[in-house]
Chains A and B, each alone.
Chain A
Amino acid sequence: MTDGLKRRDFLKVLGASGAGAGVMGCSTEKVERLLPYVVPPEEVTPGVATWYATVCGECEAGCGMWVRTREGRVVKVEGNPEDPVSEGALCSRGHSSLQALYNPDRFTGPMLRQGEQLQPISWEEAEQMLADRLGAAGDYYLFTGSTGATLAGLMSDFAGATGGQVVRYDPLAEAPLREASRIAFGRDVVPWYDLEEARFLVSFGADFLESWLSPVRDGRGFARMSGVDENGGKGRFAFVGSRLSLTGQNADEWLPIQPGSEALVALAMANVVSGGGGNAGPYRDIVAAYTPENVAGVTGVDAESIRELGQLFADGPSLALGPGVAGLHRGATAANVAVAILNSVAGNVGRTVHYDAPQLSAPSAGVAPMEEAIEAMRSGRVGAALVHGSNPAYALPASSGFREAFASVPFKVSFASAMDETAASADLILPDRHFLESWGDASSRPGKWAVQQPAMRPVPHFDSKQTGDVLLSVATRMGEGFGSETFYDHLRTRWADLAVAAGAADAEAFWHETLRTGVAQVGTTPSGSAEALRQPDRGLVFDPPAFDGAGDLHLMVYPSARYGDGALNANRPWLQELPDPVSKITWHSWVEMHPNRAEALGVRNGDVVVLSTEHGSIEAPVWTYPGIREDVIAVPMGGGHTSAGRFADGNGVNALDLLPTESEVLSGGLVHFVTKVDVAPTGRRRPLATIAGSDVQSNRPISPAVALASLGSETGGAEEGEHGPLKELQGVGGFVPVETDGRPEAFPLAGAQHGEYGDEETPRWSMAIDLDKCTGCSACVTACQAENNVAWVGESQVTMGRDMGWIRLERYYETVEASHAGPVDVRFLPMICQHCGNAPCEPVCPVFATYHTPDGINTQVYNRCVGTRYCLNNCPYKVRVYNWYTYTDEEPVREGLGHIPEPLNWQLNPDVTVRENGIMEKCSFCIHRIRKHQDRAAVEGSSIVDGQVVPACQQSCPAEAIVFGNIRDTRSRVALASHGERAYRVLDELINTQPAVTYLKKVTFHEVESGEH
């Protein structure tokens, strides 16, 4: 490279994108000439990651995100520790957003329908066409889903200026909760819940760990509340609902109520708390009327249990969480009001629930405006329909008639970045950018603002354009300027105002600081103060609502813990293959029913049944679940896509098709729990693609628990489940005790001769997992998959048992009883490679492909592995996963197998080898992260401090259940955790494996039977 001019050109191009930390990626100009990477851009050092702060666009919660880029490509997303919502954690869906960014089914550019085909056109033509057609259309609708604050504002302004109407539709909108807040306290908000502050929590079917308001933040708050603390204190949690969701499985008590009777339980508890309704204000008479005895019959829960719950609730600080969308029935608003009353009489308002500091800024109307829009489209009064950020053709029940009405609109525009059911019938496609490529902002509660900045240049395979830019350009073409050329400018204008509001002296500095940290505080969060209940301005009926149809089986269609409603995020292999936290099923849909019900029907797991209501019918295999009432049948949302992309189409069924399109009278929310259902076996079978080999522990010391009462006592928990000293048969007869100085720091074993072991100064890397905190949310599973290039394998392979997850989140039922109120005990255990000090896998490998590093990590040398699979056989934990095929090629080796089509391969972590057919692999303790810190410490001459090395699972865990570090450092957090009373090592006492992973027993409120593991 001798020609200086070329180099200057090169720098110019890079300079354009490299001017500021955030500007990287916003430019669309292409580099015309190939130029060698002689002078690297300043912020890109090959081999060193660059991080950007942004905000997750997956759901309303708006978790702060850190985006890890390598050589200009996004390779991983993590929670932003400085963000008050995520506090560094992230859920599976957030992690999987990378697969939407690199989704191979994204539109390659703007498209225009010509006949049956979509033909590419230029952005210029497309925008001009949109401007022309909108100008001529007269009335039009702009359908939208969850969008950032500034974009939502722009859309309203745009629609207002051009004669359109914005309809925001979110099938999981908390409309009843908002309406109940308005009725009870006069505030049309979703209140802010402070789970952490509570000591007793009651959820009335609110699945706050999976699909409710803010799963990551609430998961963290819940774990802090319910995890046992140093003083032996532990918050208690009761779940009231007809089906145990993941949230319900984390409860200490379960009240399996009659479908729809949450309000009665809440009022009866309020009755107990207030001593007959004393402080219930305008609701005094109602509360007085609903005594536990009066509601016992209707709710199906005995009065004594309600009374006990009420007394615990009165002891406070307590918190009741209103019915969520999982059981959104015709009385949902009244039930939410009842819960608000309960919180009010217990004095929780202003303490654990805050109406004056709400969350979720965007207004979430129910389905009612959508119904109007459908009617308008059907009647032909609508000239055009624009769809952005939502997929109503999928997310509305078929009975709504949206598809037909939408198809009848003369000009349909979709801003979808990839094909979906709504875009499938659109005339013009203007592909939006992924949130990791675009500018935006979000405000998930008043005062808290986050900037969404592009973390990379747009993925070059796709000629996409941010919808904000398109709207501004179209507005200009229509003669309605908004004063900004680009959405970036528009955003900056908005943020200039925010800077003023935030009291920042220098708007530019404020902006850059926000780009760096990802969040800004604008104004102050209102302080909590108690609010008084108001006289209701609408008629409230608290009694259980009617269900349509005959028979005794109530149909519950609930949001999936993985997808939510699944309208826009189903085309992601990571999510498809993530075992559902409750059922442990991947890929396909299933029908949940109680084992007794299944027996009565003569079906078992995997038998396909047909569910039918008057609105439609679906077929799916049965999964029997003791955590569901016998009179309830549940089906998750998120399946049954027809044009969402190669990974989603054809998997499962869309259960919304069974539902009527009916809005709840008071709030307008779409009801999901409204009809009864007929179930009939088809006689066919379909093996479940599940990872669960057994639901019970079979009397083995896998996941023992300890009762809270026996914690701290000498004969307490630590002894439970132990078999006494390990003994060995002697050659001359008789048994001798075996030396089991199995403390992880005692590695290597006394007398160990094989391998290279470090001295006492060498760390032994170790992990402690607190099972009292683990909620089973499975965020770690996806985080690990993203970090370690863990392949997805496909449904057929999972059905065979060949799933490749390095973390197997085990779920064992101990006490799950749906017939009456009582304790519930479900054990979660993230099973990873235990990095045994005495590893059974190591001696059996004929070629030393697995061995111990001096710092105690059981490593797998992929290149050396021949694939005898002996290590898999000999691993008692079965954490080794084998590449039965090459799952990482661009094309699948066989139909339906895992593969990584371009550009999904852009996501691969360059620090970790991509594996091929015939190789064993397993958890590596994120060894590349350890080595990175060790290398840096070596270069800097420093040493690694405790907490510096964070594996992907720990990083992502919302519950803070995982601690990692050097166990030989006696002051490290992992050493402290591993020597606690609750510490145990799985199967160690049985087979002397001496694992480096220590688990802390779950703590229960009920007695754990002695001898029970």
Chain B
Amino acid sequence: MSTATEVPRGALTHPDIQSLEEVNRDVLRPLGRPGKGWWALLGLCIAGIGLLGYSWSIQIFQGIGVTGLTSPVGWGVYITTFVFWVGIAHSGTLISAILFLFRAPWRQSIYRAAEAMTVFAVMTAGLFPLIHVGRVWHAYWLIPYPNSRFLWPNFRSPLVWDVFAVTTYFTVSAVFFYLGTIPDLAAARDGAIGLRKKLYKVISLGWRGTDREWHHFGKAYIFLAALATPLVLSVHSVVSWDFAVSIVPGWHATIFAPYFVAGAIFSGVAMVITLTVPLRKAFRLEAYLTTKHYDAMAKLCLLTSMIVFYAYLSEFFMAWYSGEEVERAAFWERLFGPYWWATWTMLVCNGMVPVMLWFKRVRYSIPALFAISIFVNIGMWFERYVIIVTSLHHEYEPFAWGVYRPSTVEMGIMVGSFAWFGFWFLLFTRLLPPVAIAELKEVLPTPMRPKATAGSVGQRGER
């Protein structure tokens, strides 16, 4: 853990924060009584979850045929949305673990929200393999468990790798997330009353903020960060192998792992922007989530956007350069076939709109960033849709070509997945400190005696 050094106030990461006490007050304020807006959003999310449950139960009771899936397009909106959420899940760990190891000074304000987003996004993504399979009641067969018939999953199948990758990622990111919140939970506990106090008491594991505790906490945190770092790269690489390992033209490409990881970071950072802009506004956290933070995220977006766009171009180039009829036709179809609109949406949203991030004024404009992040979210969903659907619909066997149109059930489940994610995120905003108090205080200037008489007393959660 770094210690803050003396810096002029103008060069500070959070120039508007006057005191450490203010941090506690501001960050813990949302944990109070929620307003009507919050309840309305929660109600909306619960309705969405109802839609998800209803749609899914139709599918379970009638059959997977209620989707628009067909031969030759065996995967559609479900896998698209699965990859989308896994991608979203990416940036949380990237921001918290990798940026932590690299000591990036701008992570403290956003990493809590990003990590929460990660955990909830994996929880959302994890639904989709279940939703997607034809016989969900047998889905546990993908998990290696001892059984009397010695039947094991097929370890050569990328889908089994997926099971491992996603469950591992969920476990590690959930533990990492929880561990990071412990000091803050203790801070919340100290201010809370009644049932809430009991809850925070239990989940803060009796944190007292002793030196010994901080020592262990720091070690554990850095170990977990180190453990999570390779996962950031591996989980989406493995997801990309779902496609790259196959022989489907448009899927079978060695570029897929880095391409998917970059895309995941791209979409994840965009989602952090999308989520934190309203959060910042609603909870008046402008002092904590400053334009500098958004500038840093925008730069990361810009970088990954360029990587992703380069990957698009290289795919098209390689298809042409290969001279292979089937490969060429697949990519020609991608641009000009029945799904041209999806492809061009992807290219515009992911490759062209983020070009605006080259301008500093755009990077420092919160509304502009918010709008761009929405474009990127849409574009990244379509990227997966394009990869999955356009490749499958136009494969080797011309007589078997076909077209897939998503059904209302699929759209219902997709929309429901956003509600499911939103539900958890809304609970998060009211139950956990949305900004990491303890870590934030590390980067604030050390309180000076004249000013700090009131501020440093009774802050048991601080260091």
A→B interface (CB under 8 Å) = 691-694, 696-700, 702, 754, 797, 800-802, 808, 810-812, 831, 840, 843-848, 864-870, 872-874, 876-878, 880-886, 893-894, 897, 917-919, 987, 990-991
Asked if B212 is at the interface (CB within 8 A of a chain A CB), the reply is no
Name 4 extra pairs, CB < 8 A, besides A754-B156, A846-B153, A869-B134: A810-B397, A831-B400, A846-B141, A846-B163
* A877–B69 alpha-carbon span in the complex (Å): 18
Closest to B161 in A: A846
* A846–B159 alpha-carbon span in the complex (Å): 6
Pair B133/A867 contact, Cβ less than 8 Å: yes
For B160, B329, B399, B400, the residue with the greatest tally of chain A CB atoms inside 10 Å of its CB is B399
* A864–B151 alpha-carbon span in the complex (Å): 10
Pair B158/A844 contact, Cβ less than 8 Å: yes
Could you list 25 examples of A-B contacts with CB < 8 Å?
A694-B398, A700-B326, A801-B402, A811-B399, A812-B398, A812-B399, A831-B397, A843-B245, A844-B246, A846-B157, A848-B151, A865-B134, A866-B133, A866-B139, A866-B142, A872-B72, A873-B74, A873-B392, A882-B71, A884-B65, A893-B62, A893-B63, A917-B63, A917-B65, A917-B135
Pair A870/B159 contact, Cβ less than 8 Å: yes
In the complex where A801-B402, A866-B133, A884-B64 touch, is A877 in contact with B157 (Cβ < 8 A)?
Answer: no
The 9 tightest CB contacts between A and B, nearest first, are A867-B134, A918-B134, A884-B65, A693-B401, A869-B74, A878-B400, A885-B63, A694-B398, A801-B402
In the complex where A693-B401, A918-B63, A918-B135 touch, is A876 in contact with B154 (Cβ < 8 A)?
Answer: no
Pair A847/B396 contact, Cβ less than 8 Å: no
Pair A844/B159 contact, Cβ less than 8 Å: yes
Pair B62/A894 contact, Cβ less than 8 Å: yes
Pair A847/B142 contact, Cβ less than 8 Å: yes
What is the minimal beta-carbon distance from A765 to any residue of chain B, in angstroms?
23
Contact residues in A for B70 (Cβ distance below 8 Å): 800-802, 884
In the complex where A844-B246, A847-B154, A870-B157 touch, is A865 in contact with B397 (Cβ < 8 A)?
Answer: no
**B 141-158 to A, binary, CB cutoff 8 A, 1 in contact else 0:** 110000000011110111
Contact residues in A for B242 (Cβ distance below 8 Å): 870
Contact residues in B for A884 (Cβ distance below 8 Å): 63-65, 69-70
Pair B72/A877 contact, Cβ less than 8 Å: no
Asked if B313 is at the interface (CB within 8 A of a chain A CB), the reply is no
Contact residues in A for B402 (Cβ distance below 8 Å): 693, 801
What is the minimal beta-carbon distance from A838 to any residue of chain B, in angstroms?
10
Pair B399/A808 contact, Cβ less than 8 Å: yes
Closest to B72 in A: A878
Pair B134/A917 contact, Cβ less than 8 Å: yes
Q: Which of B27-85 contact A (CB under 8 A)?
A: 62-65, 68-72, 74-75
* A880–B134 alpha-carbon span in the complex (Å): 15
What is the minimal beta-carbon distance from A677 to any residue of chain B, in angstroms?
31
Contact residues in B for A843 (Cβ distance below 8 Å): 154, 156-157, 245
Asked if B138 is at the interface (CB within 8 A of a chain A CB), the reply is yes
Pair A876/B69 contact, Cβ less than 8 Å: no
Contact residues in A for B142 (Cβ distance below 8 Å): 846-847, 866
Pair A881/B398 contact, Cβ less than 8 Å: no
Pair A877/B397 contact, Cβ less than 8 Å: yes
Contact residues in B for A876 (Cβ distance below 8 Å): 247, 395-397
Contact residues in B for A845 (Cβ distance below 8 Å): 154, 157
Pair B157/A700 contact, Cβ less than 8 Å: no
* A881–B69 alpha-carbon span in the complex (Å): 12
**B 379-415 to A, binary, CB cutoff 8 A, 1 in contact else 0:** 0000000000000100111111111000000000000
Closest to B162 in A: A846
For A797, A846, A848, the residue with the greatest tally of chain B CB atoms inside 10 Å of its CB is A846
* A599–B130 alpha-carbon span in the complex (Å): 47
Pair A844/B157 contact, Cβ less than 8 Å: yes
What is the minimal beta-carbon distance from A845 to any residue of chain B, in angstroms?
6
Contact residues in A for B62 (Cβ distance below 8 Å): 885, 893-894
Pair B400/A869 contact, Cβ less than 8 Å: no
Residue B71 contacts which of A802, A810, A846, A864 (CB distance < 8 angstroms)? A802
Contact residues in B for A882 (Cβ distance below 8 Å): 64, 71, 74, 134
Residue A700 contacts which of B151, B160, B325, B392 (CB distance < 8 angstroms)? B325
Contact residues in A for B65 (Cβ distance below 8 Å): 797, 802, 884-885, 893-894, 897, 917
Pair B133/A698 contact, Cβ less than 8 Å: no
* A436–B65 alpha-carbon span in the complex (Å): 36
* A699–B71 alpha-carbon span in the complex (Å): 22
For A691, A810, A831, A848, the residue with the greatest tally of chain B CB atoms inside 10 Å of its CB is A848
Pair B153/A808 contact, Cβ less than 8 Å: no
Contact residues in A for B112 (Cβ distance below 8 Å): none
For B65, B326, B392, the residue with the greatest tally of chain A CB atoms inside 10 Å of its CB is B65
The bracket for how many chain B residues form the interface is 35 or more
Residue A991 contacts which of B64, B325, B329, B396 (CB distance < 8 angstroms)? B396
* A199–B57 alpha-carbon span in the complex (Å): 63
Contact residues in A for B152 (Cβ distance below 8 Å): 848
Contact residues in B for A897 (Cβ distance below 8 Å): 65
Asked if B441 is at the interface (CB within 8 A of a chain A CB), the reply is no
* A715–B190 alpha-carbon span in the complex (Å): 89
Contact residues in B for A840 (Cβ distance below 8 Å): 246-247
Contact residues in A for B72 (Cβ distance below 8 Å): 693, 801, 872-873, 878
Pair A702/B138 contact, Cβ less than 8 Å: no
Contact residues in B for A873 (Cβ distance below 8 Å): 72, 74-75, 246, 248, 392
Residue A866 contacts which of B135, B158, B247 (CB distance < 8 angstroms)? B135
Contact residues in A for B158 (Cβ distance below 8 Å): 844, 870
Closest to A694 in B: B398
Contact residues in A for B160 (Cβ distance below 8 Å): 846
Asked if B132 is at the interface (CB within 8 A of a chain A CB), the reply is yes
Residue A847 contacts which of B69, B75, B141, B397 (CB distance < 8 angstroms)? B141
What is the minimal beta-carbon distance from B213 to any residue of chain A, in angstroms?
43
What is the minimal beta-carbon distance from B56 to any residue of chain A, in angstroms?
14
Contact residues in A for B132 (Cβ distance below 8 Å): 868
Pair A883/B246 contact, Cβ less than 8 Å: no
In the complex where A693-B401, A801-B71 touch, is A848 in contact with B153 (Cβ < 8 A)?
Answer: yes
Contact residues in B for A877 (Cβ distance below 8 Å): 396-397, 400
Contact residues in A for B154 (Cβ distance below 8 Å): 843, 845-848
* A457–B138 alpha-carbon span in the complex (Å): 42
Pair A878/B141 contact, Cβ less than 8 Å: no
Contact residues in B for A880 (Cβ distance below 8 Å): 71
Q: Which of B152-189 contact A (CB under 8 A)?
A: 152-154, 156-160, 163
* A831–B134 alpha-carbon span in the complex (Å): 25
What is the minimal beta-carbon distance from B50 to any residue of chain A, in angstroms?
22
In the complex where A846-B142, A864-B141 touch, is A810 in contact with B399 (Cβ < 8 A)?
Answer: yes
Residue B325 contacts which of A693, A698, A878, A885 (CB distance < 8 angstroms)? A698
What is the minimal beta-carbon distance from A780 to any residue of chain B, in angstroms?
16
In the complex where A808-B400, A882-B134 touch, is A699 in contact with B325 (Cβ < 8 A)?
Answer: yes
In the complex where A845-B154, A847-B141, A883-B134 touch, is A917 in contact with B395 (Cβ < 8 A)?
Answer: no
Closest to A992 in B: B247
Pair B399/A692 contact, Cβ less than 8 Å: yes
Closest to A851 in B: B154
Contact residues in B for A893 (Cβ distance below 8 Å): 62-63, 65
What is the minimal beta-carbon distance from B256 to any residue of chain A, in angstroms?
15
Q: Which of B98-150 contact A (CB under 8 A)?
A: 132-135, 138-139, 141-142
Closest to B324 in A: A990
What is the minimal beta-carbon distance from A358 to any residue of chain B, in angstroms?
41
What is the minimal beta-carbon distance from B401 to any residue of chain A, in angstroms?
3
Closest to A696 in B: B398
Contact residues in B for A697 (Cβ distance below 8 Å): 398
* A322–B135 alpha-carbon span in the complex (Å): 56
Contact residues in A for B401 (Cβ distance below 8 Å): 693-694
In the complex where A802-B71, A846-B157, A885-B63 touch, is A866 in contact with B134 (Cβ < 8 A)?
Answer: yes
Pair A886/B63 contact, Cβ less than 8 Å: yes
Pair B246/A698 contact, Cβ less than 8 Å: no
* A894–B65 alpha-carbon span in the complex (Å): 10
Residue B399 contacts which of A694, A802, A886 (CB distance < 8 angstroms)? A694
Closest to A844 in B: B157
